[in-house]
Amino acid sequence: MPKAIILIEDGFEDTELTYPYFRLQEAGFDVDLVGEKGEEIYESKNGQRFRSDLSAEDVDVSDYKLLVIPGGRAPDRMRIKESLVDLAQSAVDEGLVISAICHGIQLLIETDCLEGKKATCYYSVKTDLENAGGEFIDKEVVVDGRLVTSRHPGDLPAFMRGTLDLVQNP
């Protein structure tokens, strides 16, 4: 069974975590919620709570095919936590498919993996993406190499189609 990581931190956008979580399970993936701490309760923007399965330090990314970064306020918090940045960098280095929606691109900016990449994100993060060397494309889903990005919760169906297509047909 293929494995996927979904990063979790306080302030995540509810549907940007739950939609990929259940859609990946439906597609046959073993999904781990990974936060700075394992077995920790994290709360969404709207009060929904999920428990992390593992801490970022306990993850061996070579066991996984996919890293999903939900948006909301969480990515801005993730980008200042060394273990989460290190995990994202390891996923880039290992060549995992990386899917980021909405503000999720903020964590990827810390990995320097956006230089020369076409991507999309929530409009308020567009300048950050461009300053990191990426090219902003205003589309519901943008796939460039092993990177899948989308703008907001309304793009979730296209985001997951793009993600699953790439991870199942590399």
At position 49, the amino acid (one-letter code) is: R
**Per-residue model confidence (pLDDT) at position 170:** 75
Instruction: Give the contacts of 162 (CB within 8 A, at least 6 positions apart).
Output: 99, 141, 143, 148, 150
- Residue bearing tokens 């549907």: 15
Please give the helix or strand (H or E) that residue 149 lies within, else none.
strand 147-150
* pLDDT, tens digit only, all 170 positions of the chain: 999 999 999 999 999 999 999 999 999 999 999 999 999 999 999 999 999 999 999 999 999 999 999 999 999 999 999 999 999 999 999 999 999 999 999 999 999 899 999 999 999 999 999 999 999 999 999 999 999 999 999 999 999 999 999 999 87
- DSSP code at position 65: S
CA pair distance 87, 129, nearest whole angstrom = 20
DSSP secondary structure letters along 77-137: HHTT-HHHHHHHHHHHHHT-EEEEEGGGHHHHHTTT--TT-EE---GGGHHHHHHTT-EE-
136 DSSP β-pair partners: 119
**Per-residue model confidence (pLDDT) at position 169:** 85
3-state DSSP helix/strand/coil % of the chain, to nearest 5: 40, 25, 35
**Per-residue model confidence (pLDDT) at position 62:** 97
Structural domains in the chain? 3-168 (3.40.50.880)
Which residues have a catalytic role annotated?
102-103
**Per-residue model confidence (pLDDT) at position 112:** 87
Residues 23, 26, 29, 34, CA torsion sign: positive
Question: Which of 94, 102, 104, 112 is closest to 153 using CA atoms?
Answer: 102
